[in-house]
């Protein structure tokens, strides 16, 4: 096991080719792996299993980074729970890159979980999980480039890839009414927050692709919580929530021409497809021309999850090979 490379963040960065925008060469075709999880841990049973599952990922000597795609447990919106999850995140030997989901803030208005102030919970999530802008979680954190004003949106180069997180969440990106607080339509504050966050995500997408072009990256990897192509969701609310960001991803992907990979959670069932070649999705989002170079992967999640996704970076034109690994 090649554990010597994990003893310090700097050593890991050199081994993996990871760097912020000012350092590193993204063009190198390095062989390594990263793990992707999401929508976990749900419930007390999964929470008790979480350290064991973290240990299994840690034991994989080829894995050099872990991405968590949000939703850290349905129906728990307290600071103490956030701290408990963060403590678990910091058990990862590798750098842990986390992008928030709707469960931990956008859904907190619900009466069943205490009618919390949703935007206050968003502020708490940022405070707990992103105390230092530009640093990942994990035992050996690394420096990444954090977006100004949205420190949860980060980007970095890793062995030939340009990787970026996007804070886009389920529950129609928090445009569903805060019914637990008595609202029947989205509030002014709610709409304003969503619009600003979408604009930030679009800017992050454009920046990631610009960096990838400048560095001659082999591929762009985007990580987000929301499943913007979930089956059975083609309605006006869904389109309003995600059209702007999907159009930006499609436009930038077509202009990039190399491989693009979108990892998301949210809908809980594993899927691997090319949604921007599907005429129904192109029509739904008003996109002209397919982006056949984009591959989307939805990771399995929720209470019955029994696997994580292992992504192998390879030297062939495939760039990434996706494996489903069962938890022991």
Which two three-digit tokens encode residue 184? 């029947």
Distance CA 211, CA 156 (A): 9
- When pLDDT is cut at 50, 70 and 90, the band that residue 31 belongs to is confident
Per the CB < 8 A criterion, the answer to whether 309 and 36 are in contact is yes
- When pLDDT is cut at 50, 70 and 90, the band that residue 47 belongs to is very high
Q: What does the mean pLDDT of the chain come to?
A: 91
Collapsing DSSP to helix, strand or coil, 113 comes out as helix
Instruction: Summarize the confidence of residues 240-246 as an average pLDDT.
Output: 98
Residue-wise pLDDT for 162-215, tens only, equals: 999 999 999 999 999 999 999 999 999 999 999 999 999 999 999 999 999 999
Residue-wise pLDDT for 103-156, tens only, equals: 999 999 998 888 999 999 999 999 999 999 999 999 999 999 999 999 999 999
Per the CB < 8 A criterion, the answer to whether 221 and 164 are in contact is yes
- How crowded is residue 131: how many other Cβ atoms within 10 Å of its Cβ? 11
- At the fourth CATH level, which superfamily is domain 3-326? Metallo-dependent phosphatases (3.60.21.10)
User: Higher confidence at residue 24 or residue 327?
Assistant: 327
Nearest Cα neighbor of 73 from 303, 297, 268 is: 303
For residue 142, what pLDDT is reported? Answer: 96
Nearest Cα neighbor of 152 from 174, 132, 167 is: 167
Q: Is the predicted pLDDT of residue 2 greater than 50, yes or no?
A: no
Per the CB < 8 A criterion, the answer to whether 167 and 152 are in contact is yes
- When pLDDT is cut at 50, 70 and 90, the band that residue 4 belongs to is very low
- When pLDDT is cut at 50, 70 and 90, the band that residue 16 belongs to is low
Strand partners, 146: 154
Nearest Cα neighbor of 12 from 63, 56, 57 is: 63
Strand partners, 136: none
| b/e burial code for range 212-235 (CB count within 10 A of at least 16 → b) | bbebebbbbbbbbbbbbbbeebee
Which two three-digit tokens encode residue 270? 């594993």
Per the CB < 8 A criterion, the answer to whether 288 and 250 are in contact is no
Q: Is the predicted pLDDT of residue 29 greater than 80, yes or no?
A: no
CA distances from 156 to 10, 11, 29, 79, 146 (A): 14, 16, 15, 29, 9
Backbone angles phi, psi at 282, to 5 degrees: -60, -45
Out of 60-69, 71-80, 191-200, 251-260, pick the least confident.
Answer: 71-80
Distance CA 154, CA 59 (A): 26
Residues above pLDDT 70, as percent of the chain: 91
Collapsing DSSP to helix, strand or coil, 182 comes out as coil
Q: Is-cis flag, bond preceding 177, omega within 30?
A: no
Q: Is the predicted pLDDT of residue 80 greater than 70, yes or no?
A: yes
Residue-wise pLDDT for 264-298, tens only, equals: 999 999 999 999 999 999 999 999 999 999 999 99
Whether the pTM exceeds 0.95: the reply is: no
- What dihedral angle (degrees, nearest 10) is formed by the CA atoms of 186, 189, 192, 196? -120
For residue 30, what pLDDT is reported? Answer: 52
Per the CB < 8 A criterion, the answer to whether 37 and 73 are in contact is no
Q: Is the predicted pLDDT of residue 97 greater than 50, yes or no?
A: yes
């Amino acid at each position: 096991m090649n554990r010597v490379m994990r003893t310090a963040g700097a050593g890991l960065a050199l081994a993996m080719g990871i760097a912020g925008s000012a350092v590193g060469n993204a063009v190198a075709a390095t062989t390594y792996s990263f793990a992707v999880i999401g929508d976990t841990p749900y419930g007390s049973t999964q929470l008790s299993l979480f350290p064991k599952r973290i240990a299994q990922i840690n034991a994989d000597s080829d894995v050099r980074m872990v991405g968590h795609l949000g939703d850290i447990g349905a129906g728990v919106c307290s600071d103490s729970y956030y701290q408990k999850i963060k403590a678990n995140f910091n058990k990862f030997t590798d750098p842990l890159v986390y992008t928030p989901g709707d469960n931990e803030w956008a859904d907190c208005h619900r009466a069943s979980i205490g009618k919390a102030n949703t935007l206050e919970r968003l502020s708490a999530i940022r405070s707990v999980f992103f105390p230092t802008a530009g640093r990942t979680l994990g035992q050996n954190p690394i420096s990444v480039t954090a977006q100004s004003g949205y420190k949860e949106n980060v980007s970095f180069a890793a062995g030939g890839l340009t990787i970026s997180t996007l804070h886009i969440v389920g529950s129609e990106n928090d445009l569903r009414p805060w019914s637990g607080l008595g609202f029947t339509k989205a509030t002014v504050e709610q709409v304003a927050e969503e619009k600003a966050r979408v604009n930030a995500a679009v800017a992050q997408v454009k920046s990631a692709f610009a960096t990838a072009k400048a560095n001659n990256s082999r591929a762009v990897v985007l990580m987000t919580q929301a499943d913007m192509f979930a089956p059975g969701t083609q309605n006006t609310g869904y389109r309003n929530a995600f059209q702007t960001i999907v159009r930006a991803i499609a436009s930038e992907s077509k202009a990039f021409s190399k491989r693009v990979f979108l990892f998301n959670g949210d809908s809980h069932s594993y899927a691997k497809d090319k949604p921007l070649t599907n005429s129904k999705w192109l029509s739904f989002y008003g996109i002209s021309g397919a982006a056949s170079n984009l591959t989307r992967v939805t990771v399995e999640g929720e209470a019955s999850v029994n696997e994580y996704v292992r992504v192998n970076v390879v030297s062939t034109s495939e760039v990434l090979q996706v494996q489903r690994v069962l938890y022991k």
